[in-house]
């Protein structure tokens, strides 16, 4: 996260965000796009953050292409190094589309040309980019269904799942911070819209709340989840109008 | 396997498909039960008015009191901690005690189903942020609104409640256009908890935040923070934008902390300068420099509205420069050192130049003293030569015989011989060549009656009595003392031919020492003393010498004591026999030179010891063609009463320094100015570039 944080509860920045977004609708991806080729440090940081979040789908893609675990790790690491350090993947068009597609296109471009791969290996790779925990990566990959998904399809699906997991984890952390972890545990099933999965009455009984209160809490939780999800997606698209579209595309990736 | 869609994928144990679908369609507005209108405790919710941060505002009906209120609930309340709730309640209750016509009153604070809320008066109308345009360009209207707001805020302050988040969106205009401060003391609870750590997507504008808030010193905020907020509202009303804007909130905060707001008149020309001054005083970074209270601000605004002068003064040039220096210590230090260096150099140059001038003056005067003494010595030598000639003539037997016989033609012949054959060593005169230094020769008897004169006088001249003349009196004194020695007389206007001259006289004694008469040689005034030219032949120096002598009385003043005053004997500009009387200041200085000498009859031609001199830095020469003061030195010519003045023009003395200064200016000043101009040009264009860069960032 790039925005400043304070934990004293009396934070001067407490006022953010405001109801009127006005000119401050900057997302990470739009930052990167706006920076163009000569990326500013701010844009660089934004790009770096995004890469840290979405490295696994790239790994899965590379593996599914038929590379071995080490090879895949080196490739992805070399790619990030190239991307973050040199920042010269200029011929990959950033102006159109989303971060998701751009990242994959860039990786493909990189793999096709094997840029600097040797160099990255020699240096142990990713000194300035990010280091990939090979075991974690491979462990995750071993759990991928082994049927006939193409590398691209796998990448898209992994992307979607990574995104959702991230949103859920953020929401859980928020609740935990407010001491409402148990409430979250009980109500998280509701996030899929499956209201009747655990009857509110039962939850109310367990937590000592009124059924109405549980209903409200569940509703708020869903509201907050939606907000977080949209925010997260917004980070990877160019315009706020693209959010809906992106959700639909993510849905497609799950089929 | 998801029971709803049959998908067998999982994201953290949940169906990703359903998760995404759930996000796709917005649920109907969250209400406890079944949508609007609905019950919320004792209230019926009628309409959602707005949402922001963690707050939602509804128009609601109070079912007990049957009135319409605005109900704000903390939507995140269900997730809020106990401590938070407690503080919210305490502060809202404090705010609820405020009672002011321009503060939106809080009616009730409570919690329903774990959801904290408060109700306040429902004011119909928009907020100030939506109505900025109504105020643009109308300074009076802006001042009126601000004055009302400031008094309302002051009311809160008096009861210990800070607003902490004053901004146009928190000011509601009622149907009559009257402003009301909303969210007094509770604003921060409404904005709280909005998770700004995830602020990548939407962040609000911290452009109204005071520097102390921006710096995170929120625990010890004072009323000055609200004064700043009022200033921020004023700023936006005047210019249409918050005091600080930038692309990202972090940049805005940095600006709040580090830069001065753009003066409003640069954003909206035509703004009243008094309002601008007021506004900028509110927006001072240092809380202590703002208005001491909101009421002070209100009074100041009222002063403005009444057309009286406001008390705040716009930041002076000096203050602005000082602030700039504090923000830019390195360039400021550089500029300061250079300015200091220039100042010191200029001061030193001036002092040195002045000392130089003094030195030059002293040097010139001391040279003139030396020259004056030398010239005086030369004159003395010349007079001695003349005196010797007179003395030898007086001792001639060809004079004594006819005098005893009273043979007037023989005496006349003697005078003629002396006059014409002055170079003849046989006569003992031995005077240098050229014209006779003596204008005329005289012989008077012991009663002062003229016996003979050459050149030949008019007939009635012979027999005239001149016993009252200084030369006769001088010779008489010598005769009575039995001293046969010459006397150098005062200068006078001759009755024989109306020319100025002085005389050298000597008593004529017979063999028994009886006084028989006086032999007199007359010397005329002019440019030279015989062949002696006094002035420096070097024209460039303009050093000239002047010989002056005390004035003798005229016939009408016979019998009176010796008069004061002097006449010029020798001067470059003087024709033969001409002269000019000297009186006033210069005469006093001449007296001063002679005063230290005791006049002794017998030793007129002795070198004085010590030789007194007087210097004059502002001498005026009445005969000189050259304007301006002279540096003059005065020296007495022995004990004759004559004084030599040696003078140089003051400006000529400083000519050398002036030449030096001209060269310095030429070789130092001109390159310096050229360099400065170049540097200024470079800095100016750099400054312009910065401005353009800022503008391009802001648009």
A134-142 helix and A69-81 helix, angle to the nearest 10 degrees: 120
Residue A7's pLDDT is 34
* Cβ atoms B534, B380 nearer than 8 A: no
The percentage of chain B sitting over the pLDDT mark of 70, rounded to a whole number, equals 86
Per-residue pLDDT of B107-130, as tens digits, reads 888 877 767 788 888 888 788 888
* Cβ atoms B123, B111 nearer than 8 A: no
Rounded to a whole number of angstroms, the distance from the CA of A51 to the nearest CA of chain B is: 15
Pairwise CB contact (< 8 Å): A27 & B11? no
Residue A130 has pLDDT above 60, yes or no: yes
- Which range is least confidently modeled, B62-66, B345-349, B550-554, B594-598? B594-598
What mean pLDDT do residues A101-120 have?
Answer: 73
Contacts of B11 in chain A (CB under 8 A): 160-161, 164-165, 168
**SS3 assignment for B413-461:** HHHHHHHHCCCCCCCCCCCCCCCCCCCEEEEEECCCEEEEEECCCCHHH
**Extended strands (E) in B466-603:** 487-493, 500-509, 515-524, 544-550, 566-570, 581-582
Residue A183's pLDDT is 83
A88: helix, strand or coil:
coil
Please tell me which residue, B661 or B506, carries the higher pLDDT value: B506
Residue B213's pLDDT is 79
Contacts of A1 in chain B (CB under 8 A): 197-198, 200
Rounded to a whole number of angstroms, the distance from the CA of A70 to the nearest CA of chain B is: 26
Residue to mutate among B10, B197, B214, with most A CBs inside 10 A, is B197
Model-level pTM?
A: 0.45
What mean pLDDT do residues B315-340 have?
Answer: 83
Residue B272 has pLDDT above 50, yes or no: yes
Residue A35 has pLDDT above 70, yes or no: no
Residue B150's pLDDT is 94
Q: Give me the residue spans of the domains in chain A.
A: 1-16+149-255, 22-128+137-144
pLDDT band at A11 (very low <50, low <70, confident <90, very high): very low
pLDDT band at B78 (very low <50, low <70, confident <90, very high): very low
What mean pLDDT do residues A191-215 have?
Answer: 72
pLDDT band at B248 (very low <50, low <70, confident <90, very high): low
The CA–CA distances, whole Å, from B122 to B60, B65, B129, B165, B369 equal: 9, 14, 18, 20, 103
* Cβ atoms B165, B95 nearer than 8 A: no
Q: Is B3 on the interface with A (CB under 8 A)?
A: yes
Peptide bond into B690 cis (omega under 30): no
Instruction: Identify whether B165 is a catalytic site residue.
Output: yes
pLDDT band at B458 (very low <50, low <70, confident <90, very high): confident
Residue A26's pLDDT is 54
Nearest by Cα to B384 from B606, B142, B688:
B606
User: What are the DSSP calls for B306-326, one per residue?
Assistant: TTPPPS--PPPHHHHHHHHHH
Rounded to a whole number of angstroms, the distance from the CA of B663 to the nearest CA of chain A is: 55
| Residue B627 main-chain phi, psi, to 5 deg | -75, 165
Nearest by Cα to B24 from A134, A155, A225, A109:
A225
* Cβ atoms B542, B648 nearer than 8 A: yes
- Which range is least confidently modeled, B139-153, B249-263, B418-432, B675-689? B418-432
Per-residue pLDDT of B489-512, as tens digits, reads 999 988 888 889 999 999 998 888
Catalytic residue among B62, B165, B183, B439: B165
What is the complex's ipTM, to 2 decimals?
A: 0.75
Residue A246's pLDDT is 85
List, in sequence order, the alpha helices (H) in A65-147: 69-81, 99-113, 117-122, 134-142
Q: Is B34 on the interface with A (CB under 8 A)?
A: no
Rg (CA), chain B: 55
Residue to mutate among B4, B9, B11, with most A CBs inside 10 A, is B11
Nearest by Cα to A228 from A174, A179, A162, A176:
A174
Task: Give the single-character DSSP code of A182.
Answer: H
Averaged confidence pLDDT in chain A: 71
Structure tokens at B357: 């001038």
Pairwise CB contact (< 8 Å): A213 & B24? no
- Helix, strand, coil tally for chain A in percent (to 5): 65, 0, 35
Q: How far apart are the C-alpha atoms of A110 and A92, rounded to whole Å?
A: 10
Using CA coordinates, name the residue in chain A closest to B215.
A12
Rounded to a whole number of angstroms, the distance from the CA of B333 to the nearest CA of chain A is: 31
Residue A4 has pLDDT above 50, yes or no: no
Task: Give the single-character DSSP code of B218.
Answer: G
Q: Using alpha carbons only, what angle is made at residue B155 by residues B150 and B157, rounded to the nearest 5 degrees?
A: 90
């Amino acid at each position: 996260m790039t925005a400043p944080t304070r934990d004293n509860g009396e934070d001067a920045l407490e006022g953010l965000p405001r109801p009127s977004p006005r000119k401050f609708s900057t997302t990470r991806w739009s930052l990167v796009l706006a920076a163009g080729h000569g990326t500013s440090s701010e844009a660089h940081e934004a790009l770096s953050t995004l890469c840290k979040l979405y490295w696994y789908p790239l790994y899965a893609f590379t593996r599914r292409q038929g590379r071995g675990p080490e090879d895949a790790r080196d490739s992805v690491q070399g790619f990030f190094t190239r991307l973050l350090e040199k920042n010269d993947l200029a011929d990959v068009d950033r102006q159109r589309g989303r971060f998701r597609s751009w990242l994959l296109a860039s990786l493909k471009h990189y793999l096709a040309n094997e840029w600097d791969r040797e160099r990255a290996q020699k240096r142990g790779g990713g000194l300035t980019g990010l280091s990939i925990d090979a075991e974690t990566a491979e462990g995750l990959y071993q759990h991928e269904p082994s049927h006939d998904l193409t590398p691209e399809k796998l990448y898209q699906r992994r992307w979607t799942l990574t995104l959702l997991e991230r949103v859920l984890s953020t929401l859980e952390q928020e609740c935990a911070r407010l001491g409402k972890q148990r409430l979250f545990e009980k109500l998280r099933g509701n996030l899929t819209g499956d209201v009747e999965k655990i009857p509110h009455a039962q939850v109310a009984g367990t937590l000592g709340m009124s059924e109405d209160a549980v209903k409200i809490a569940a509703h708020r939780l869903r509201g907050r989840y939606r907000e977080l999800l949209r925010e997260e997606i917004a980070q990877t698209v160019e315009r706020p109008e693209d959010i809906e579209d992106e959700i639909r595309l993510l849905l497609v990736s799950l089929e | 396997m998801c029971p709803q869609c049959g998908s067998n994928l999982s994201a953290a144990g949940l169906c990703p498909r359903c998760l995404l679908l759930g996000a796709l369609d917005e649920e109907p507005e969250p209400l406890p039960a079944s949508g609007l209108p609905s019950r919320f405790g004792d209230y019926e919710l009628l309409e959602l008015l707005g949402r922001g941060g963690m707050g939602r505002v509804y128009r609601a009906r109070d079912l007990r009191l049957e009135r319409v209120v605005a109900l704000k609930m903390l939507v995140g309340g269900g997730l809020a901690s106990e401590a938070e709730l407690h503080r919210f309640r305490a502060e809202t209750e404090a705010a609820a005690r405020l009672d002011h016509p321009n503060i939106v009153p809080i009616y009730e604070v409570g919690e329903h189903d774990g959801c904290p809320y408060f109700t306040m008066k429902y004011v119909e109308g928009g907020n100030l942020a939506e109505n900025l345009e109504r105020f643009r360009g109308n300074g009076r209207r802006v001042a009126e609104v601000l004055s009302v707001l400031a008094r309302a805020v002051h009311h809160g302050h008096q009861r210990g409640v800070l607003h902490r988040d004053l901004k146009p969106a928190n000011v509601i205009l009622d149907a009559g256009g009257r402003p009301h401060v909303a969210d007094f003391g509770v604003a921060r609870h409404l904005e709280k908890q909005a998770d700004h750590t995830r602020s990548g997507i939407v962040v609000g504008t911290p452009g109204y935040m005071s520097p102390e808030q921006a710096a995170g010193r929120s625990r010890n905020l004072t009323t000055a923070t609200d004064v700043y907020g009022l200033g921020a509202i004023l700023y936006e009303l005047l210019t249409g934008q918050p005091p600080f804007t930038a692309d990202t909130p972090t940049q805005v905060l940095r600006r709040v902390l580090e830069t001065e707001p753009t003066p409003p008149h640069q954003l909206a020309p035509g703004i009243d300068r008094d309002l601008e001054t007021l506004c900028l005083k509110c927006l001072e970074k240092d809380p202590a420099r703002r208005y001491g209270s909101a009421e002070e601000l209100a009074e100041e605004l009222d002063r403005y509205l009444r057309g009286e002068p406001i008390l705040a003064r716009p930041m002076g040039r000096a203050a602005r420069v000082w602030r700039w220096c504090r923000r830019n210590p390195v360039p400021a230090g550089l500029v300061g050192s250079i300015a200091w260096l220039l100042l010191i150099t200029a001061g030193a140059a001036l002092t040195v130049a002045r000392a130089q001038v003094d030195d030059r003056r002293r040097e010139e005067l001391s040279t003139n003293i030396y020259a004056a003494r030398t010239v005086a010595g030369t004159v003395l030598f010349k007079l001695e030569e003349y005196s010797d000639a007179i003395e030898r003539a007086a001792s001639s037997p060809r004079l004594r015989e006819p005098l005893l016989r009273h043979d007037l033609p023989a005496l006349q012949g003697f005078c003629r011989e002396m006059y014409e054959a002055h170079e003849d060593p046989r006569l003992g005169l031995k005077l240098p060549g050229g014209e006779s230094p003596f204008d005329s020769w005289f012989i008077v008897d012991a009663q002062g009656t003229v016996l003979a004169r050459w050149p030949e006088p008019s007939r009635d001249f012979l027999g005239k009595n001149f016993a009252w003349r200084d030369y006769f009196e001088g010779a008489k004194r010598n005769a009575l003392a039995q001293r046969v020695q010459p006397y150098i007389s005062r200068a006078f206007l001759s009755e024989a031919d109306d020319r100025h001259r002085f005389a050298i006289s000597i008593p004529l004694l017979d063999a028994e020492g009886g006084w028989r008469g006086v032999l007199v040689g007359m010397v005329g005034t002019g440019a030279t003393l015989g062949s002696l030219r006094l002035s420096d032949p070097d024209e460039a120096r303009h050093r000239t010498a002047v010989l002056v002598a005390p004035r003798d009385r005229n016939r009408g003043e016979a019998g009176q004591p010796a008069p004061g005053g002097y006449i010029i004997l020798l001067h470059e500009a003087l024709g033969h026999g001409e002269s000019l009387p000297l009186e006033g200041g210069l005469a006093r200085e001449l007296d001063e030179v002679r005063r230290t000498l005791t006049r002794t009859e017998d030793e007129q031609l002795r070198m004085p010891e010590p030789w007194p001199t007087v210097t004059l830095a502002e001498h005026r020469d009445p005969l000189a063609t050259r304007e301006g003061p002279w540096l003059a030195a005065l020296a007495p010519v022995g004990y004759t009463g004559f004084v030599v003045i040696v003078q140089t023009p003051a400006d000529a003395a400083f000519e050398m320094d002036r030449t030096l200064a001209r060269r310095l200016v030429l070789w130092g000043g001109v390159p310096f100015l050229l360099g400065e101009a170049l540097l200024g040009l470079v800095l100016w264009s750099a400054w312009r570039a910065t401005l353009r860069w800022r503008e391009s960032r802001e648009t």
